[in-house]
Amino acid sequence: MISAEQLRQYFYCPRKIYWRDIARLPHITPLLMKKGADLHHAKEKRNYQYANALKTHREVYLSDTELNLKGIADIIIEYKGFLKVAEIKLSLPTPIPKGYIAQLAALGILAERQFNKPVTHLVFLSDHEEELPYSEKIRSEVMQAIQEVNALYKNGLLPQKTPITSRCEYCEYKKICR
Ligand code: SF4
């Protein structure tokens, strides 16, 4: 199954998941990501509370065989027959990167199917909180990307580079990516 995290990478650059997950080139976890994981555990240990939650689920494994998609939602909040899906981040850039939103929207698609309730908002929790409406536009963009990533796994062909060439500067695959 493909993962919601792979969708985040796909929105950053379609080639990244090709090198990492299809060609299976070794990669180094950036220090910032390790710190993010540490922070995640620290917050879990402190039993991070989300204000005003009526019913809160934490670390929810979500999957759907029809979409061939899986992911883990940090927090799912149920309220009045609706859902909000939340992600804890070490830091939150402004504007929020599209990949972050796509990853959370993918979890929203899975949550809707698993809980059989509509998602109204995507929430990022960091040193500050940002709540985005779960729009039909982002939902359909992510549904399209789910199909594209599944097709990428099937055909195994090298996808196009990101058109934003400045991203290559910070990419661990820049030496082999031509
Ligand atoms: S080097 Fe650039 S094009 Fe290649 S995978 Fe990295 S971000 Fe994508």
Residues, the chain, total? 178
Comparing C-alpha atoms, which of 86, 80, 101, 92 is closest to residue 49?
86
> Is ligand 1 within 6 A of the CB of residue 173?
yes
Mutate to test the pocket of ligand 1, among 9, 11, 16 (most ligand atoms within 8 A of CB): 16
> Is ligand 1 within 6 A of the CB of residue 92?
no
pLDDT of amino acid 46: 44
**CA separation, residue 131 to residues 49, 51, 56, 120, 177 (Å):** 16, 13, 16, 10, 36
pLDDT of amino acid 55: 87
Rounded to two decimals, what is the model's pTM?
0.86
Write down the domain spans for the chain. 2-170
Which helix (H) or strand (E) element contains residue 119? strand 119-125
pLDDT of amino acid 128: 87
> Is ligand 1 within 6 A of the CB of residue 168?
yes
Q: How far apart are CA 106 and CA 144, in angstroms?
A: 11
pLDDT of amino acid 48: 46
- Given a cut of 50, whether residue 143 has pLDDT beyond it is yes
Give, to the nearest 10 degrees, the angle between helix 136-155 and helix 4-12: 90
User: Stretch 146-165: mean pLDDT, rounded?
Assistant: 94
**CA separation, residue 96 to residues 129, 142, 151, 165 (Å):** 12, 16, 27, 19
pLDDT of amino acid 39: 55
pLDDT tens-digit readout, 84-134: 999 999 889 999 999 999 999 999 999 999 999 999 999 999 988 999 999
CATH topology of domain 2-170: Lambda Exonuclease; Chain A (3.90.320)
> Is ligand 1 within 6 A of the CB of residue 72?
no
| Nearest-CA residue for atom 3 of ligand 1 | 161
| Greatest extent of the chain over all pairs of C-alpha atoms, in Å | 51
**Could you identify the atom of ligand 1 that is nearest to the CA of residue 14?**
8
> Is ligand 1 within 6 A of the CB of residue 16?
yes
More confident residue, 29 or 9: 9
* Centroid of ligand 1 to alpha carbon of 96 (angstroms): 20
* pLDDT over 90 percentage in the chain: 72
Q: 3-state DSSP call for residue 53?
A: coil
b/e code 96-130 from CB counts within 10 Å (16+ = b): beebbbbbbbbbbbbbbebbebebbbbbbbeeeee
pLDDT tens-digit readout, 14-73: 999 999 999 888 765 555 555 555 555 555 444 444 555 568 999 999 999 999 999 999
